[in-house]
Structure 1
Amino acid sequence: MSTSMMEKAKVVSQAEWLAAREGLLAREKQLTRERDALAAERRRMPWMAVEKQYEFEGPRGKASLLDLFEGRRQLIVYRAFFEPGVFGWPDHACRGCSLGADQVSHLSHLNARDTTLVYASRASQPEIERLKKRMGWTMPWYTITDGFDVDFGVDQWHGHNAFIRDGDKVFRTYFINSRGDEAMGSVWSYLDMTALGRQEEWEDSPKGYPQTVPYKWWNWHDEYASSTSPDPGWVKVLDNARVTLGLKD
């Protein structure tokens, strides 16, 4: 559609534009507070014990659901549609799932919050590796070999299931699918759906949940393993910024 055919927006002065923007900003801040409140409710959701044993195929062979955690406390499993019968097969996965895969943030930041993200499909591992190489994707991607997708509501449609472990015991903590998947991809959207959340001190979390000062745990994605966190130099930068800009944690 050409610009001439569109209903044109009202043209105003800078002062009027700023006033209109401030009006929307107030609503946006309200939405942010409501989103934080919803995340706080997720952290108080009951946990569902996973009693069945599930088996996946991974790059290194057979893997249990517990193995998918990679030793971390939390796990998010996204069910992507890449298998016979899916539009695009065998060259591509589902267009929607592929669009979502293109949005996945660098996983080191999630890992720093004791959280692992994996993808799972019914395609074989050679097919998955070929697809990942073609598309430039690096997330762990497993093959579903049993009824995991049926049991967790993702046999007919995509979705994110969140889990937590207590030792060798695994619990399902939350589930997001349909349009909820549109927001997924950032470090924050993933952490907000987990039982432990962002694990920052400002969050309204149950007593005893892990929490640290916000911002200070951030690091370059290639240095989480090699440097201390929080880094003293980074802490100084943040402390100076709070003084200069009046920032709050």
Structure 2
Amino acid sequence: MTDNKALPPVVSAEEWEKARAELLTAEKEATRAQDRIAAQRRRLPMVRFGEYTFASTGGPVTLRDLFGEHQQLALYQFMHNGPDHFCPGCTHFTKQVTDLDGLARNGLAWATVSDMPLDQMAGYWKQKEWTVPFASSAGTTFSADCGAGGGFLLNLFLRDGEDVYRTYSTGQRGVDRILFVNNMLDLAPYGRQEAWEDSPEGWPQYPTYG
């Protein structure tokens, strides 16, 4: 993008330190609130989830199979927008799914499923050069049973032996908040530059995914 003419006001070092300290107080309050929410999240009950069989490039896989050797599973539901159409938000999200080894070291497996046909998923994964494990939930009621419907959703599961339980799910801004790029842009002067943001007059802003 070209340089923007809208700029934050220039102040003295002392004024900047004062403004930064005020923001830091608000940031610490938000951090403590997030810690409380995380503690509440760890105390959520769980619900037993049914058995599902998905299609993968290696053959049929069950929901239990996606855990591998781990006890926990994060499972992202990638939207199905029809033949030759791919959700830009899910694409943006999937590009940022990294360090799965780091998750695995903490006992958490990751996989992505979609109601897209397997061939469509496989072709898109190859085009994007993604290494994220994936399977097709087409022909199953999995996305509907999760409450995703035709949308996207992140689910967390826990297994006890062969029994699988859902412990948490989130969508919309709950998914948005874990993205590296989005969080870094939130720290930058111009933010994400998306039309919905509350930004100063004259700040560059464009349609989301535009």
TM-score interval (norm. to shorter): 0.7 to 0.9
State TM-score, norm by structure 1. Answer: 0.67
1:116 CA drift (Å): 0.9
Q: Which residue of 2 aligns with 1:9?
A: 8
SS in 1 for 2:64: helix
Determine whether 1:74 maps to 2:66.
no
- Aligned mates of 1:115, 1:94 — CA distance in 2: 26
Q: Which residue of 2 aligns with 1:103?
A: 96
Work out whether residues 157 and 178 of structure 1, in 8 Å CA contact, stay in contact via their aligned partners in 2: no
Q: 1:179 to 1:154 in 2, by over 3 A?
A: same
Cα deviations across residues 204-246 of structure 1 (Å, max 9, x unaligned)?
Answer: xxxxxxxxxxxxxxxxxxxxxxxxxxxxxxxxxxxxxxxxxxx
Work out whether residues 77 and 152 of structure 2, in 8 Å CA contact, stay in contact via their aligned partners in 1: yes
State TM-score, norm by structure 2. Answer: 0.79
SS in 2 for 1:150: helix
Structure 2 regions of 5+ residues with no counterpart?
184-210
Amino acid at match of 2:32: R
Amino acid at match of 1:118: A
Percent sequence identity is: 32
Amino acid at match of 2:53: E
Amino acid at match of 1:112: R
User: For 1:22-101, what aligned pairs fall within 5 Å after superposition?
Assistant: 22-50=21-49, 52-84=50-82, 89-90=83-84, 92-101=85-94
Moved over 6 A (4+): none
User: For 1:49-198, what aligned pairs fall within 5 Å after superposition?
Assistant: 49-50=48-49, 52-84=50-82, 89-90=83-84, 92-144=85-137, 145-185=139-179
SS in 1 for 2:150: coil
Work out whether residues 80 and 150 of structure 2, in 8 Å CA contact, stay in contact via their aligned partners in 1: no
Amino acid at match of 1:182: D
Q: Report how many residues are paired.
A: 179
- Aligned mates of 2:30, 2:79 — CA distance in 1: 32
1:185 CA drift (Å): 4.1
Q: 1:168 to 1:185 in 2, by over 3 A?
A: farther
